[in-house]
Amino acid sequence: MTERARPAFDLSALRDGNLRRLVLAQLTSAVGDLMVLAVLPFAVLSIGGSMAQVGIALAAQAVVLAALLLFGGVGGDRFARRSVVIAADLCRFASQGIVAVLLIGGHAEFWQLVAAQAVLGAGAAFFMPAMQGLISQSVHPEQLQKANALRGMAVSLGGVVGPAIAVAVLAVAGPGWAFAVDAASFLLSAAMLAKVRAQAPQAVWHRASTVRQDLAAGWREFRHTTWIWVIVTEFAILNSLVFAPFFVFGPTVSADSLGGPAAWATILAALGAGEVLGAIVAMAWNPNRPLLVATLAIGLWAVPLLLLATLAPVGLIAVGAAAAGASLAIFGALWETILQTRTPISLRSRLSSYDLLGSFALIPLGYMLGSLEQELFGAGPGLIAAAAVIAVATFAVIAVPSVREMRSAPRPDAAPSA
């Protein structure tokens, strides 16, 4: 397979002020999102709550996120996207800041934590689709793939830095101050985004259209664009039947057969390191058939699944996990660049919201199915079944002509097919 020449990896793209601010905003936002997962259980327990209530609070965030995601896409296409992402960050800053004040003052109640989590989910629902469109408006087309790779790297680093900061602040000052730092991360993200300048115009809001009409227009474009709905369907399947079970079976196998929690920690660390490595590769590699390469890359997830199933040495499983992590980063950079260069700018946030909702809506079901499968058949057969699913899905997707034959040369801006 041929590929187009690209400069060797470097960070020269960050000389672009817009890109630098977008990446820093993504990093601080990711740090804030991941801090919540570490801080919230201790906040609930500190006011006399239970682990069951922790689950309720986290579920509130997930439910609101799923419920509002499509409306977030409409908002990203109707209004100035920079304004939408700033407003989303400020809402999250306010909600987390209020919780911090209540916890520090000793006045927090459980319903207030649940409400704050709901606001956090709402903010994410509007932030993510608008951010996808804002990047394509603010970064030169030649830098888009690098921008998406850097964003992916920022999210991966946020997954490491966020919990680490949360644990450190919890140990020194308690959950209230950890929430205060969490709130500050969203304020910093908003400050970075306020300095971003859009280079490409956004479509004018047609005041005659209703929200329902806007949703329908996005849906028509989504279902008429075969390569989009095929990939989204693939990831709905993979997230529920492959990725979620991996995180259900992995700890059990590690504890029972690989030496304990340290083995699972090693595998997860390798997965994260692989994501960073994959982002670096994506910055320097522009394959001639980007969607085909992205789909084949995800097929590498079969490797750690089979290695876990056969109880291979931890070091070997870690190598497989690193390859799987790299495949996710490469797919993410290529996929986001394709969406940003081959879809109408007036529909970009709505298409992103359909993509996000379709890809992630079934993850909770995947966790439940993984737990049930583990009880009925055991982790080994479950991991082998997950590897079979990813193999079948990969071959089914590359059989689609619009996926297999898509070339790297993008159209400046596509016209809606509907």
Whether 207 is covered by a domain: the verdict is: no
> pLDDT tens for residues 197-217?
876 665 545 556 788 888 899
Examine the domain organization and report whether 143 and 268 are in the same domain.
Answer: no
CA dihedral 208, 210, 214, 217 (to 10 degrees): -70
User: How many domains would you assign to the chain?
Assistant: 2
Chosen domain end from 133, 168, 198: 198
CA dihedral sign, ordered 155, 159, 164, 170: positive
User: Over pLDDT 90: what percentage of the chain?
Assistant: 36
Tell me the residue range of the domain where 31 lies.
Answer: 16-198
pLDDT-derived band at 411, boundaries 50, 70, 90:
very low
Examine the domain organization and report whether 186 and 222 are in the same domain.
Answer: no
Examine the domain organization and report whether 260 and 148 are in the same domain.
Answer: no
> pLDDT tens for residues 299-331?
999 999 999 999 999 899 999 999 999 999 999
Whether 183 is covered by a domain: the verdict is: yes
> pLDDT tens for residues 56-104?
887 888 889 888 999 999 999 888 899 999 999 999 999 999 999 999 9
CATH number, position 176 = 1.20.1250.20
